A and B are shown apart, each in its own frame.
Chain A
Amino acid sequence: MLTLNVNGVRREVQAADDTPLLYVLRNDLQLIGPQFGCGLAQCGACAVLVDGKEARSCVTPVASVVGQEITTLEGLPARWAKQKGLSAELAKDTLHPVQQAWIEEQTPQCGFCQNGMMIKATELLESNPHPTIPQIKDAFTNSGPSPNLCRCGTYQAILEAVQHAATLMAKGGK
């Protein structure tokens, strides 16, 4: 039995130590934001935040993240609410500004990769609240184990959404 801290909640799971975190999240914890894209840490569809840093859950052994803070796409609203000290009541209906920006910019096409894109955007904006376009391109291309790949080609929309999210975050989320 392993105890994980996922989206601010303690979760106990029965899984072999070497099980990739992705399968534990999706199959045991019903957290379906992260998607299986390649199983090789080459695309980013499965990304989660581990202690605030983007990690590829498809190659992360579950035992290696015991004791660390795991955030999935589902946990982004609560993460934002906690950072902003929002009441539980307010937090319930709040999306993370990154998610809000993704909707307002109509970013996804098929959307399968966008989990990882939003995780990457959150990681970036938490450390650099006002990134330049080259910094955004660099983050999505060079900061992870591989570039975050989108087959539908939504990179322009992602660029605009990250900038929009930065504006929303600077304004406190609205």
Chain B
Amino acid sequence: MASAKNASLEVFGPTLSRRQFVKAGGALLVGFSLVGPELLKADTAKPSVLKNSLDPTLLNSWIEVHPDNTILIRTGKNDFGQGTTFTAYRQIVADELSVPFEAITTVVQGSTDATPDGSGAFDFLGGGMPNIRKAAAYTYQALLGLASEKLGVPKDKLSVQDGVVSGGGKNVSYGDLVKNQQLKLTIPVKGELTSIMGLTIDGNPPLKPVSEYKVIGKSYKNSVIASKVAAKETWATDVRLPGMLHARVVHPKTLGSILVSAGQVDKTKFPNSQVIVKGNLVGVIAPTEWEAIQAAEQVASATKWSDWKGLPGSEKLYQHLREEADWTSAAVANGEKNKGDAGPALGSAKKKHAATYQVSYMKHAPIGPTMAVADVKADGTVHIHTHNQNPQELRGEIAMMLGTTADHVIVHAYPGPGHYGRSNGGNAGAEDEAVLLSKALGKPVRVQWMRADDMQWSTQGSAGYTEIQIALDEKGKISAYQADHYMPAMQDDRLIGAVLAGLPTQAAPNPKGDFISSTANGIQDPWVYLSVPNVTERGHGTYQVGQKASPIAVGLRDHSMRTPGQFQQHFPRELAISEAAALAGADAIQFRLDHATDERAISVLKAVREASAWDTRPSPRPGAASTGSTPIKGRGVALMFRNGSYWACVCHISVTPSTGKIVVEKSTIAVDPGIVVNPAQLKRNVEGGAVMGISHALFEEVIFDQSGITQDDWNSYPIPSMSDIPEIKVVLINNPKVGAYGGGSEAANALAAPAIAAAFHDATGKVMRKIPLKPAYVKALLET
């Protein structure tokens, strides 16, 4: 055992105590990293820290400074391809610590036994204050304290460059400061590890002034790209455990079916396969993947399910939402920026725009279907190897399903196919099924969903509709804006395997649920036209479609998807604003400039106007036409504020009225995220979002009948190919005076739909208030 000598120093709120560990026999003192969290945990056992977890109150669980001057950082946020943890996080830590980017040699992310804070793969930059920044700021203060003692110079007389502290004519490197010492620094932490938001570092350590940033603002490369490209990264799909079996799940015939009888394996064909049944969960397991696939198909054909027809069908979705859905049980949400009284202005308006807008259900549609490997040990310990946006929350969910505690569950995180929010509440589909099958067999089991499983049994982004009224005054300015947004609950974190097996899991969405499981619909799209005198925005929520009619309460399970909730409110608002501009006879960008007051909103609009070579004039364009086989051009704009970032997008399109085919020719996006942390990475994120946005606007719509989703592959649920992409122009506005960095990995996907729909109006003079703008729908509209 180590003996310890305590010392302590006061740093800005929390107490930081330094402890030197001396190995028995007075041997060499050991460094920071060599002691590691295990020993520290034994030394400072706290009842609140789960087994198989790091102690989040120990700074060393977040950042390790090594005697060789290298630095390791840990984050529960599991990068999904945004690159943030491998670029921006290293840059942020480097600047807080005054070290070069390259000094941060290791990023540990995601796995529940190796990272401290939990939470999901969203909002990585956390309004400019991600946990890792505070952890670095505390570490910096501790290192300054150590240097002050060592050099005999007061902290405020020290300076640091490239990890070397100087003062009083002397200097010492961070590596030398931590050599032969163990820093035991206790920091304040709040929150709940296995909740969706995880833990947050508290307190207010002094932060590096923006003017001193040296690493932030430069385009460092994402190191993981190199290992992925060279086939050297271990993906979740690559995990193979000794004795592991391959499984496929035979999902029910409909979203509300009950198992009548499970089919038997044809042992003459599949001698090594077996069927496991738990309630309505039917798994087929074999030693090889190909046998599992074939046996599952054979078993599926012999399995009998009850019928169920509890859905309205996608053709009647909006009729169902308007006429049948229960919008009264959940509390109505009011917009934070609501002011004045829209009623009288709308009542007396000379010019008034009133319309209804619709957004379809959309799949997250990861390019690889969900999969997981689970290994439930005889002692009850559960290991899950997966690709997940919120491993700690998954841990809690699995524990709940098994009736155990999160201590017993370890989630190992790996890269995998992006799924854009689907597992930010802890699960993507296959994880719990793998656990149940592994537990039943006492062996590691790999569950891989097939493409059809992923299309039909995963969650989706919510559909919704919005009623908007806009009054214009005699000068053509908006005197009142009123929007009522209707959307079924958008976050269902229930484990589908637990639901099918009849085991405990989270509550289904309901009016009394917490902020995750509630059916209420908050206002997610911040109002940006602040000079409008009368504003009323209301959110109306309800149960998921089919949920109440289903014997297993699933229906069309929704889950937040890139720009969740805001997408469904932003498309209606921005298209309506463009329509109001047309009604006022005003140019759509100038009209927005006339109603925005925030300097950043104004500058992002001006930037997109210039970069897109926008021709200032009202819509529709001269020569707009809704007939003929000649392509007609149009352009439209959208403005958004999200996660601290202002966005504006212009789409130039052409539409061929006779076919209804829309081609996006140019997409120009300007973004002011405050401080641009990594221009090249942000640009790539925005380009990707621009393409996904075109996909949402033109291609994507979940089609379902009364029993379930009928799409089962990429032909029935198309997304864009390379030939569908426009010229993409990204304008990054670095705005250091904001003093913080905002999000950049989502929002771009939401801008395209209202800009394209406005461009369509510009080209044709007709308005399509529903996405997607598929050729058949466009053609039908133009023929009316």
Contacts and interface: CB of A to CB of B under 8 A. Distances in A.
B386 interface: no
Contacts of A23: 288-290
Contacts of A113: 367, 417
Interface stretch (B127-135, B219-227, B331-339): B219-227
Given A109-B688, A137-B722, A152-B81, A45 B367 contact: yes
Nearest to A18: B290
A153 interface: yes
Given A38-B369, A106-B225, 5 more contacts: A35-B417, A109-B688, A151-B692, A153-B687, A153-B689
B300 to A, nearest CB: 15
Interface stretch (B104-112, B234-242, B578-586): B234-242
Given A35-B368, A153-B688, A112 B417 contact: yes
B231 A32 contact: yes
Nearest to A20: B290
Contact of B221 (A103, A156, A158): A103
B296 to A, nearest CB: 12
A154 interface: yes
Interface in A19-39: 19-20, 23, 26-27, 31-33, 35-39
A110 B418 contact: yes
Interface stretch (A49-57, A83-91, A142-150): A142-150
Across chains A and B, which 5 residue pairs bring their CB atoms closest together, nearest first?
Answer: A153-B691, A147-B721, A110-B81, A110-B418, A109-B81
B647 to A, nearest CB: 16
Given A74-B231, A112-B418, A156 B225 contact: no
Contacts of A43: 367, 714
Interface string B383-426: 00000000000000000000000000000000111101000000
Nearest to A136: B722
Contacts of A72: 231
Nearest to A146: B714
Contacts of A151: 365-367, 417-418, 420, 692, 719
Find the residue from B234, B681, B721 having the highest chain A CB count within 10 A. B721
A148 B222 contact: no
B67 to A, nearest CB: 30
B741 interface: no
B231 A37 contact: no
**Is chain B's interface secondary structure helix, strand, loop, or mixed overall?**
loop
Interface in B654-701: 680-681, 684-685, 687-692, 695
A9 interface: no
B690 A141 contact: no
12 contacts: A26-B238, A32-B234, A37-B451, A38-B451, A73-B231, A107-B225, A110-B418, A112-B417, A137-B722, A149-B721, A151-B420, A156-B691
Chain B interface size, as a band, is 35 or more
A132 to B, nearest CB: 13
A124 B230 CA distance: 19
B725 interface: yes
Contact of B229 (A20, A42, A108, A148): A108
Contacts of B293: 39
Find the residue from B365, B450, B723 having the highest chain A CB count within 10 A. B723
B649 to A, nearest CB: 14
Contacts of A156: 687, 691, 725, 728
Interface string A120-137: 000000000000000011
Contacts of B289: 23, 27
Contacts of B91: none
A42 B684 CA distance: 25
B225 A111 contact: yes
A109 B418 contact: yes
B88 to A, nearest CB: 13
A140 interface: yes
B368 A112 contact: yes
B604 to A, nearest CB: 21
B784 to A, nearest CB: 33
